[in-house]
Amino acid sequence: MSGNGLTYSEQGGEAAPELAQEAAPTVTPSTPAAFGLFSSDTKKNEDLKQMLESSKDSAKLDAMKRIVGMIAKGKNASELFPAVVKNVASKNIEIKKLVYVYLMRYAEEQQDLALLSISTFQRALKDPNQLIRASALRVLSSIRVPIIVPIMMLAIKEASSDLSPYVRKNAAHAIQKLYSLDPDQKEMLIEVIEKLLKDRSTLVAGSVVMAFEEVCPDRIDLIHKNYRKLCNLLVDVEEWGQVVIIHMLTRYARTQFVSPWKVMVDEYSENNFYESDEEQKEKDQKLKTTYTMDPDHRLLLRNTKPLLQSRNAAVVMAVAQLYWHLAPKSEAGIVSKSLVRLLRSNREVQYIVLQNIATMSIQRKGMFEPYLKSFYVRSTDPTMIKTLKLEILTNLANEANISTLLREFQTYVKSQDKQFAAATIQAIGRCATNITEVTDTCLNGLVCLLSNRDEIVVAESVVVIKKLLQTQPAHHGEIIKHMAKLLDNITVPVARASILWLIGEYCERVPKIAPDVLRKTAKSFTNEDDLVKLQILNLGAKLYLTNSKQTKLLTQYVLNLGKYDQSYDIRDRTRFIRQLIVPNEKSGALSKYAKKIFLAQKPAPLLESPFKDRDHFQLGTLSHTLNSRATGYLELSDWPEVAPDPSVRNVDVAESAKEWTGILGKPKKEKPTEKFYSESEEEEDESASTSSSGKCLESTAFSLPGKLCLQNCLVHK
Amino acid sequence: MLPARGAGPAGEAREELSGGGACVESTFGGFAPAQPGAAAAMIHSLFLINASGDIFLEKHWKSVVSRSVCDYFFEAQERASEAENVPPVIPTPHHYLLSVYRHKIFFVAVIQSEVPPLFVIEFLHRVVDTFQDYFGVCSEVIIKDNVVVVYEVLEEMLDNGFPLATESNILKELIKPPTILRTVVNTITGSTNVGDQLPTGQLSVVPWRRTGVKYTNNEAYFDVIEEIDAIIDKSGSTITAEIQGVIDACVKLTGMPDLTLSFMNPRLLDDVSFHPCVRFKRWESERILSFIPPDGNFRLLSYHVSAQNLVAIPVYVKHNISFRDGSSLGRFEITVGPKQTMGKTVEGVMVTSQMPKSVLNMTLTPSQGTHVFDPVTKLLSWDVGKINPQKLPSLKGSVSLQAGTSKPDENPTINLQFKIQQLAISGLKVNRLDMYGEKYKPFKGIKYMTKAGKFQVRT
């Protein structure tokens, strides 16, 4: 095989070596090294090179396919670069495409050689076939070679005024690529973005807004004039573009309109979300006097609403977050049904949607209360889905539904998935603190669980009971006694520590038992977990202060054990406690207050949702999912006190009409189409002709799609 | 002759270099490679990982991201113990990994900055759907065998990390799916799988439909499929039940047909989501589905039946499962019977149940069908088949428990699957289907089916 290759390169060397000479400086150092190290690999590649240089397209294609296979597996195919790049001008479209794939992968590493291909693309940029123009632009902008920045810039500028919207779409994509290659081009790129934002094609809209978000998200002034157009085109934009546009418009609206919540915040934030019509009207009236929504604000809400019916979960979520952040609180409820629908989808979609619902349900319970049963857990759900559903159920718990919920929780506690059972116990604890009516019931239930066979369940119950007793420090001596008995059997450190803490804290309520517990634990001290040791020390200290007659010696003993413990923390704590409770000449003024320090009334722990603090992130974002700021997260601004001048969004009517008829060539389509909307509460926002013509496109579009694009092609040819 | 042709492209390239290339060199010779900008595109790279943790395919849309980034994923996978518990979003120091798990393959997307997570997840699912559409099944072997097509498709689906063409009608025009016939033809004639014209759909307002569709037999089939999700408690009463439905269509019609489909009782539909082809306004005002269909198979509509309507539960399960303390034997008996079936036969019944860990083995005899108990996964499955109301199928026997362990806290949950042909359990009925815009008379067909969705019986 290798012999064959040699002879070939000698004979057919006319083409290849000359090329190699041109690019000599970069290629030569790499090739020999590879030769020596991976001789077997090179042999194989040698035969690929041969195929690439063959005169038959089929051989070339086979070679390219194998190379793409190598790239896909993550194998290095970079040394074939010179051989591959020669085929960039191949007549065979599949070879060409595969060469493009190769170029995009390796051009960055072999910049000088990649330059060989540039002129081919430059030529292709002028091809009469729009697909070829577009893909040339795609590849040209994807080979990250800094030297060609000016060429890219030029190509983007030209493509942005191409007659084919498909090419213009690709131009919008190229903007982002050029920007990440050379951020210095920002100013020039913004000009192109400005131009493309004016574009009326639904194909371009999503891509250019994406470029806007990446390059200059702070330049909202560029959006003003295009705002109404974007709102009106939205329904017809492809789904991915819709997501990007909706997110951008959400940010935009928060800077341009005044808050629709101001008056209502107090009345609506709580449970009275669904109330009688009369009350509603009354409030609406009150509202009208104080606040009227900007028609543009209304336009956005109205035009995004149909998208809740999208089959794309990302679009539905985008609309939901828009309503959450922008709509009057009485209207935000319409998104819940659609969000609940998404729960039928794949596990990953469920995960994200449930997270967002969890955040929503903390602030506005009413939105999801009617769908309580949709969050019931199935034994087949993955654990992460189960815990999220449980979280939401807990958020939704109120006096009316708590008994049903607790019955449901009882099933969950018995679940074979012990992690989930433990989470349920915590949820019961939260319900118990939030709804005072059921605190006792919950506590009793949890005490029953103490005799459960599963250690994790018992341990979790102990921890939760401890928290509950702290919030209700009344007369729970019985429970504490019960727990003291458990100490003999429970081995989970957290649970043991919790019991010891409880006994210490309320030692005066169980004066007979507490010293005995200390006696037992003093015996086992050396074998306990660090966590438990610390609590034994605490218990000793507290007993020493309240009942020193019985426990003085025991405590001394425990303190001595602690003094020589292996753990730094425990030695430290021992020293600290000894100084505080055992008065000697060296101990300072503090020991006088030892009792106050140890037996102070401690604030009860708050049992809160882990989703409590997530609401400062915009819903539906990666940052919200992670509960930490992701790179590139754009803060959602607060509503302005006074709305900025709304007239900036006005578009010159004559100009836009002219532009429009220019494209369509059918001016008679200008007819009012407002009746397409069933809920036309506001007629007055028909100020701009853009909105009517935009809808016009939608209503007439289906009749002449073919013609439209035909026209485009013809004009171009 | 041969060398001359071979030299063609190379010669061209050389010429250009000495012209354009030199110019570039002289003007911008001292240009230092710029740092990539702070912001980055949505989806940076994609890794496909199989069940045994091998990365068997990688694709990068921007600069290459080392596959070592997947180590963070493997860590999370180890922690999760089960594949379906791997978190879909994993943060790493410089990237974020968003993944979906389907067909025993993890599709892991690498993200560098803020992006709506559902955007990526939904896209990944679309990728899987596309593969399934192209190759019939989506498996590691199929993907490896068709790696070139996979690569070409991925290339078209994303540009710089942003979705470009995700409609399968458009994709199939750009890159034709491999068929045996086409492979043979291609090897003989040297033609390719790659289209050289921009798919017309891409530019029109009906991007989901290709132009120039021709069939000799024009047919349109619609399947109304409803699924019942339910949780039934111990005593047989319904805790929650709801009906979700879809209308899947297979439309093979010539030209640009414009269809309308109306229902006898559209009020049943409480919440709907449409294929982009459905005109939303017509639905809002007249409750009629009006659309220019894509060519081939697609999901026209998904719906949810309003919660007010009581859901008919077509089957019941009688169960008697008991474990006793101290004894290593337990009793197990279940019987399945029809309930509200509107006179139709319940078929394709399948019972599965995850037994507690302490169950060692089960000795059971079914009155019909076959059953399997896997002692490793502790999964019992019983393929029942049809339910004959005269002779109810039952499964009886004993359970042997690990000696010395205490009895399980909870009885196992029973999952049920079944099918009822020619019935939409919600009562939804299609009224008529009309076609406008074309002259021929198509063959129209409609089929109803009811299935169990997530149907669980707690015992």
What's residue B259's pLDDT? Answer: 94
CA distance A287 to A284: 5
Q: Which residues in chain B have Cβ-Cβ distances shorter than 8 Å to A100? A: 155
B37 at A interface, C-beta within 8 A: yes
- Residue A403 confidence (pLDDT) above 80: yes
Query: Distance (Å) from the C-alpha of residue B424 to the closest C-alpha of chain A?
Result: 19
Say yes or no for a CB contact (<8 Å) between B6 and A179. no
Query: Distance (Å) from the C-alpha of residue B213 to the closest C-alpha of chain A?
Result: 13
Q: Which residues in chain A have Cβ-Cβ distances shorter than 8 Å to B162? A: 173, 176, 207, 210, 240
Query: Distance (Å) from the C-alpha of residue A368 to the closest C-alpha of chain B?
Result: 14
What's residue B98's pLDDT? Answer: 95
- Residue A654 confidence (pLDDT) above 60: no
| Mean pLDDT estimate for chain B | 83
Q: Which of A595-609, B201-215, B281-295 has the highest mean pLDDT?
A: B281-295
Choose the closest CB to B122 out of A14, A73, A313.
Answer: A313
pLDDT, average across residues B192-200: 64
Three-class DSSP category at B452: strand
Query: CA nearest A175 in B: which residue?
Result: B160
Say yes or no for a CB contact (<8 Å) between B194 and A94. yes
Query: CA nearest A60 in B: which residue?
Result: B6
Say yes or no for a CB contact (<8 Å) between A702 and B258. yes
What's residue A279's pLDDT? Answer: 53
B58 at A interface, C-beta within 8 A: yes
Instruction: Give which of B173, B263, B251, B247 is closest to B211, Cα–Cα.
Output: B173
The partner residues of B316 in beta bridges, in order of sequence, read B337
| Mean pLDDT estimate for chain A | 79
Residue A458: pLDDT band by 50, 70, 90 thresholds? confident
Query: Distance (Å) from the C-alpha of residue B216 to the closest C-alpha of chain A?
Result: 22
The partner residues of B337 in beta bridges, in order of sequence, read B316
Phi-psi region of B385 (alpha: psi -120 to 50; beta: other; left: phi over 0): left
Tokens 């290629």 -> residue: A27
Structure tokens at B396: 């009886």
The percentage of chain B sitting over the pLDDT mark of 70, rounded to a whole number, equals 83
Question: Which residues 6+ apart lie within 8 Å of B55 measured at CB?
Answer: A74, B47, B48, B49, B67, B70
Three-class DSSP category at B67: helix
- Residue B25 confidence (pLDDT) above 80: no
Query: Distance (Å) from the C-alpha of residue B331 to the closest C-alpha of chain A?
Result: 19
Interface with B, mutate which of A342, A424, A622 (most B CBs under 10 A): A622
- Identify whether the C-beta of residue A324 lies closer than 8 Å to the C-beta of residue A619: yes
Say yes or no for a CB contact (<8 Å) between B203 and A166. yes
Query: CA nearest A241 in B: which residue?
Result: B163
Choose the closest CB to B40 out of A180, A203, A235.
Answer: A180
- pTM of the predicted model as reported, rounded to 2 decimal places: 0.81
B436 at A interface, C-beta within 8 A: no
- Identify whether the C-beta of residue A338 lies closer than 8 Å to the C-beta of residue A316: yes
What's residue A280's pLDDT? Answer: 53
Q: Which residues in chain B have Cβ-Cβ distances shorter than 8 Å to A202? A: 205
Helices first, then strands: H and E counts in chain B: 10, 23
What's residue A247's pLDDT? Answer: 94
B443 at A interface, C-beta within 8 A: no
Please report the residues numbered 360 through 399 in chain B whose beta carbons come closer than 8 angstroms to any beta carbon of chain A: none
Structure tokens at B431: 């009224």
Burial class, A342, CB count within 10 angstroms (exposed 0-12 / middle 13-18 / buried 19+): buried
**Tens digit of each residue's pLDDT (9 = 90 or more) over A41-93:** 556 678 888 888 888 888 888 889 899 999 998 888 888 888 888 888 888 88
Q: Which of A230-234, A586-590, A666-670, B211-215 has the lowest mean pLDDT?
A: A666-670
Interface with B, mutate which of A311, A356, A489 (most B CBs under 10 A): A311
- Residue B8 confidence (pLDDT) above 70: no
- Identify whether the C-beta of residue A533 lies closer than 8 Å to the C-beta of residue A525: yes
Three-class DSSP category at A697: helix
Say yes or no for a CB contact (<8 Å) between B198 and A147. no
Say yes or no for a CB contact (<8 Å) between B116 and A247. yes
Query: Distance (Å) from the C-alpha of residue A319 to the closest C-alpha of chain B?
Result: 12
The percentage of chain A sitting over the pLDDT mark of 90, rounded to a whole number, equals 27
- Residue A676 confidence (pLDDT) above 80: no
* Cβ atoms within 10 Å of B394's Cβ, excluding its own: 18
Interface with A, mutate which of B118, B129, B414, B436 (most A CBs under 10 A): B118
CA distance A308 to B198: 31
DSSP state of B110: E
Q: Which residues in chain A have Cβ-Cβ distances shorter than 8 Å to B272? A: 309
Please report the residues numbered 317 through 346 in chain B whose beta carbons come closer than 8 angstroms to any beta carbon of chain A: none
CA distance B76 to B56: 19
Burial class, B333, CB count within 10 angstroms (exposed 0-12 / middle 13-18 / buried 19+): middle
Residue A96: pLDDT band by 50, 70, 90 thresholds? confident
- Residue B1 confidence (pLDDT) above 60: no
Q: Which residues in chain A have Cβ-Cβ distances shorter than 8 Å to B85? A: 382-384
Say yes or no for a CB contact (<8 Å) between B196 and A131. yes
pLDDT, average across residues B33-51: 67
Q: Which residues in chain A have Cβ-Cβ distances shorter than 8 Å to B409? A: 414, 452-454
Query: CA nearest B161 in A: which residue?
Result: A173
What's residue B400's pLDDT? Answer: 87
Q: Is the dihedral of CA A362, A300, A226, A315 positive or negative?
A: positive
pLDDT, average across residues A662-679: 41
Q: Which residues in chain A have Cβ-Cβ distances shorter than 8 Å to B159? A: 138, 142, 170, 173
Choose the closest CB to A341 out of B16, B41, B304.
Answer: B304
What's residue A85's pLDDT? Answer: 86
Size of interface A-B (CB pairs under 8 A): 365
- Identify whether the C-beta of residue B334 lies closer than 8 Å to the C-beta of residue B351: yes
Say yes or no for a CB contact (<8 Å) between A708 and B406. no
Query: Distance (Å) from the C-alpha of residue B110 to the closest C-alpha of chain A?
Result: 13
**Tens digit of each residue's pLDDT (9 = 90 or more) over A573-627:** 999 888 888 777 666 677 777 778 888 877 777 777 777 778 889 999 999 998 8
What's residue B204's pLDDT? Answer: 64
Query: Distance (Å) from the C-alpha of residue A119 to the closest C-alpha of chain B?
Result: 6
Say yes or no for a CB contact (<8 Å) between B114 and A630. yes
Q: Which long-range contacts (CB under 8 A, 24 or more apart) does A661-667 make?
A: A663/A200, A665/A711
Q: Which residues in chain B have Cβ-Cβ distances shorter than 8 Å to A633? A: 113-114
Say yes or no for a CB contact (<8 Å) between A622 and B24. no
CA distance A581 to A82: 82
- Residue A497 confidence (pLDDT) above 50: yes
Say yes or no for a CB contact (<8 Å) between A73 and B115. no
Query: CA nearest A100 in B: which residue?
Result: B155
pLDDT top residue among A157 and A488: A157
- Residue A30 confidence (pLDDT) above 80: no
Q: Which residues in chain B have Cβ-Cβ distances shorter than 8 Å to A116? A: 13, 16-17, 21
Residue A700: pLDDT band by 50, 70, 90 thresholds? very low
**Tens digit of each residue's pLDDT (9 = 90 or more) over A300-338:** 999 999 999 999 999 999 999 999 999 998 888 899 999
Choose the closest CB to B100 out of A71, A165, A346.
Answer: A346
Helix H or strand E encompassing B320: strand B315-323
Say yes or no for a CB contact (<8 Å) between B38 and A183. yes
**Beta strands at B219-232 and B443-457: parallel, antiparallel or unpaired:** parallel
What's residue A27's pLDDT? Answer: 38
Interface with B, mutate which of A97, A117, A175 (most B CBs under 10 A): A97
What's residue B131's pLDDT? Answer: 92
Q: Which of A197-206, A352-361, A592-601, A681-690 has the lowest mean pLDDT?
A: A681-690
- Identify whether the C-beta of residue B384 lies closer than 8 Å to the C-beta of residue B351: yes
**Tens digit of each residue's pLDDT (9 = 90 or more) over B58-115:** 999 888 888 899 999 999 998 887 888 899 999 999 899 999 999 999 999 999 889 9
DSSP state of B175: B
CA distance B57 to B65: 13
- Residue B383 confidence (pLDDT) above 90: yes
Query: Distance (Å) from the C-alpha of residue B148 to the closest C-alpha of chain A?
Result: 6
Residue A439: pLDDT band by 50, 70, 90 thresholds? confident
Query: CA nearest B56 in A: which residue?
Result: A73
What's residue B203's pLDDT? Answer: 63
Instruction: Give which of A320, A324, A330 is closest to A263, Cα–Cα.
Output: A330
Q: Which of A245-249, A577-581, B288-292, B332-336 has the lowest mean pLDDT?
A: A577-581
**Tens digit of each residue's pLDDT (9 = 90 or more) over B295-324:** 888 899 999 887 666 788 899 999 988 887
What's residue A26's pLDDT? Answer: 40
The percentage of chain B sitting over the pLDDT mark of 90, rounded to a whole number, equals 42
pLDDT, average across residues A365-370: 90
CA distance B16 to B11: 9
